[in-house]
Chains A and B, each alone.
Chain A
Amino acid sequence: MRRHAVLWSMILLAAAMLVPFVIVALNAVKTPVEYSTGGPLDLPDGVSLDGIIAFWERVDFGEKLWNSVVISGSVAVLAVVVSVFNAYALGIGRVRGRLWILVVFLIANTLPQEALVYPLYFLANEVGLYDTKLAVIIIFTVIQAAFGTYLLTSTLGGFPRELLEAARIDGANKWQTLVRIVVPISRPTLGVLFVFFFIWTWNEFFLPLVLLISNENQTVPVALGVLQGQRMMDATMTSASALLGVIPAIVFFLIFQRALTRGITAGAVK
């Protein structure tokens, strides 16, 4: 009986989480006239894919998808690499003043992007990287790596000393210890970081909005903004675009779901 109560409340919770998604999907396949006469909650008469197709063509969605994949993928990989180097020095190498270094990283991480945007724009403009994907990749690599360093340092701080000791006795230098011992053992954690960095960067809106002004460089969330007019919004097309916008993130999550669960439970049982 009690087990069923838990089960049912879980099902209820899952249903509640899915409601917004269902409403978006529902409106994505309506015609604008159906939306205006029936409102957002009415069931459509049939499935109309016009909104989705029109949006795809209007913003050249394939190009935006590719841009997002390139930017998020590069950032995820580079940020993980940078985090590993930093955390190796801070967590295992025990650099002097590492606590303060971490505090600085953490503070940098809590800075609102609105405060950063003008200096970043100015720098990018000065070095000729304004309106290039590279500028966004560099910026987000730094931002994500700041968090990654913080997280990985505490994980590596608890790295079994015996293993490092054994590696040294076998004649491994620092680089070999990192590549052969530390990285393979922390792979689950790195996998989780990779997935998070990818999804976080994918969802970023503000900095790409400011830094990627050409349509050919834009990412998916920025392209979705095209539909929000000054006073008018096209609710059905906005829903269609929202649906198109979340699908890649969901697909990515499903692919790497195993890495995620492994990473989260890693180290739970010693």
Chain B
Amino acid sequence: MSKRLLAAAVAAVLAVAGCGGSEEASDPNTLKLWHFEGPDSAMGVAWAEAIKQFEASHPGVKVQFEEKGFEQIQKTASMVLNSKDAPDILEYTKGNATAGLLSKQGLLTDISDEVAKRGWDKKLGPGIETTAKYDERGVMGSGKWYGIPNYAEYVMVYYNKTMFDQQGLAEPKTLDELTAAMTKFVAAGITPLALGGAEYPAQQILYQLALTKADRDWVDRYQRYTGDVNFHDNAWVYGAETFAKWLREGYISKDSAGVKAEDMGVAFMQGKHPIMISGSWWYGRVQSQVKDFQWGSVPWPGMTAGSSGNMWVVPKGSKNKQLAYDFIEITMTQPIQDKLRDAGGVAVAPSDTPATDPATLRLNEDFKELSDDDRLAFYPDWPVPGFYDVQVSAVQKLITGQAGPHEVLTELSDYYKENLASVGK
């Protein structure tokens, strides 16, 4: 009996597997589009609207949208784009190690002509377009256009207004005010700064502190290899030593070495810590999920980690490039950009109608100021491949006290110098 059942199961299973291939060929009336943003995120909302508008303005054309996981795109992009199953347009991460690498491998379409023709470059500020252009080594900042970002992101200070009021403190606009506020919280028995030492937040804070003593030239040397980088210069030493001081003073808990970014955000949203220094990617979530207290945000004084968001890229093997360009065009129009902004994102193109929600207005106006002053400094782990993990572990050592600030800088310096040779080759 069971044997016959098994045989039937085998037959059924094989029959299904045999005809499971994907048979859709290149169809001039289908735009195959991939992105990895959740349906409730600002980008997800705006792009759903963009797809609707695209289909309305292109009768007969269907958008075949597939939501992908971030990890899947990261791990498989170069393989997918090299096959005949490549999408016509996809969202991809910016930076030398990602979009830069693909452009160098010849897997992305050079869209410089379209950019000039359609005037996309005029809508993007200088700090934003850096991550859309790559030279022949795959280094960002100059050369040809390979992508168009629809949104931006930057690191800022989130603070719990209710707790600040209780201590009689005002909005912390400068580093001195921030330090004074943290001192007051420590005196009241509260650890002021939420931090996730196991992931990106800790290295970003160290970088933020270094940036208070840095300028555009310093950032370019570090991120775009335009000159010598010295990890024991004024800025880096100030960053590492101040970070160590914040630990000594109790602004940051020594236990935060093992805390994940997610738990850092949750701790802030629960009101356990009054301050969090992290990116605008938290904004929409804080806005919708914090109910028990008043909160606010201030831009970081001076230069700040931040850049364009991820970009639309057109694979070399895209079968409908014109449709892909038309889609990008729609995402850059004001209605879509406003939609993205009103859903809690940072829009890149200028708008005539200010946001109605005060927090959203603040987020976007602060960004405009940063962009106009050219204060975006990208992220600390960008310059060399594999730097992220090295930085996480180095800063963790600083938090747990296993290493001093200068040892940490030496560790970063050694890795940077060692791997610089492989960049662009």
Q: Which residues of A pack against B, CB within 8 Å?
A: 32-33, 35-40, 58-59, 67, 69-71, 73-74, 77, 118, 121, 125, 129-134, 137, 209-210, 213-217, 222, 225-235
Contact = CB atoms under 8 A, between A and B. Distances in A.
Contacts of B72: 209, 213, 222, 225-226
B20 interface: yes
Most buried by A among B13, B68, B262, B285: B13
Given A230-B93, A234-B38, A39 B266 contact: yes
Contacts of B80: 213
A132 B20 contact: yes
A230 B36 contact: yes
Q: When A and B form their complex, which 3 residue pairs have the shortest distance between CB atoms, in order from nearest?
A: A225-B69, A36-B289, A133-B20
Given A70-B17, A134-B18, A134-B20, 8 more contacts: A38-B270, A70-B20, A74-B10, A132-B21, A225-B71, A230-B93, A232-B38, A232-B285
A29 B82 CA distance: 41
A67 to B, nearest CB: 8
Contact of A214 (B16, B17, B22): B22
Interface string B34-78: 001111010000000000000000000000001111111001100
Contacts of A214: 22, 66, 85
A33 B85 contact: no
Interface string B250-276: 000000000001100010011000000
Contacts of A33: 288-289, 291
Majority DSSP secondary structure for residues of A touching B = helix
B176 interface: no
A213 B14 contact: no
A215 to B, nearest CB: 5
12 contacts: A33-B288, A69-B13, A74-B17, A77-B9, A131-B22, A131-B85, A134-B20, A209-B76, A222-B72, A227-B69, A229-B38, A230-B70
Contact of A215 (B41, B67, B93): B67
Interface in B325-358: none
A223 to B, nearest CB: 8
B270 A77 contact: no
B116 interface: no
Contacts of A227: 38, 69
B6 interface: yes
Contacts of B39: 58
A131 B21 CA distance: 7
Q: In this complex, which of B36, B67, B72, B75 has the most chain A Cβ atoms within 10 angstroms of its Cβ?
A: B72
A141 to B, nearest CB: 11
Contacts of B14: 74
A217 B20 contact: yes
B290 interface: yes
Contacts of B21: 129, 131-134
A32 B289 CA distance: 7
A259 B406 CA distance: 61
A122 to B, nearest CB: 9
Contacts of A228: 69-71
A36 B69 contact: no
Given A37-B291, A226-B68, A228-B70, A74 B13 contact: yes
B75 A209 contact: yes
A223 B249 CA distance: 45
Interface string B291-332: 110000000000000000010000000000000000000000
B269 A70 contact: no
B243 interface: no
Nearest to A38: B270
A59 B36 CA distance: 12
Nearest to A67: B20
Contact of A77 (B13, B22, B285): B13
- Chain B CB within 10 Å, residue with most, of A32, A210, A228, A232: A232
A225 to B, nearest CB: 4
A134 B20 CA distance: 8
B222 interface: no
Contacts of B269: 36-37
B229 to A, nearest CB: 26
A69 B10 CA distance: 12
B17 A137 contact: yes
A32 B262 CA distance: 13
